[in-house]
Amino acid sequence: MNVFYEILLYFQKRGFEVCGRIAERLGIRARVVRTSFIYLTFVTVGFGFALYLFLAFWLKIKDLVYTKRNSVFDL
C-alpha cells in the first residue's frame, strides 16, 4: 500500500505541475485551474450524452410520423 501512495504523490507533484504552471501564467490559483478542468470534463461528457439522447428521440419521432404507407387503405 505504501508503493501506491508513493506513486500517487509522484503524480500529484509532477502531474499537477501543469495546472500550476497554467495558473501561474494566468495569475490565478492552481486549485481553480484543477477544478475548472474537472468541471469542463463533466460538462463535455454530459453534453455528448444529452446530444445522443436528443438524436435518438428525434429519430424515433421521425419514424413514427413519417412511416411509409403502401396505399390509402393502410390508415
Predicted confidence (pLDDT) per residue in 10-24, tens digit: 877 777 678 888 888
pLDDT value at position 69? 65
Instruction: Indicate whether 74 belongs to any domain.
Output: no
Instruction: Indicate whether 38 belongs to any domain.
Output: yes
Count: domains in the chain: 1
Average pLDDT per block of 10 residues along the chain, 75 residues long: 84 76 89 88 85 88 73 63
For 48, the domain range is 17-64
Instruction: Indicate whether 73 belongs to any domain.
Output: no
Instruction: Indicate whether 5 belongs to any domain.
Output: no
Backbone angles phi, psi at 67, to 5 degrees: -80, 135
Instruction: Indicate whether 28 belongs to any domain.
Output: yes
Indicate the helix (H) or strand (E) that contains 13: helix 2-26
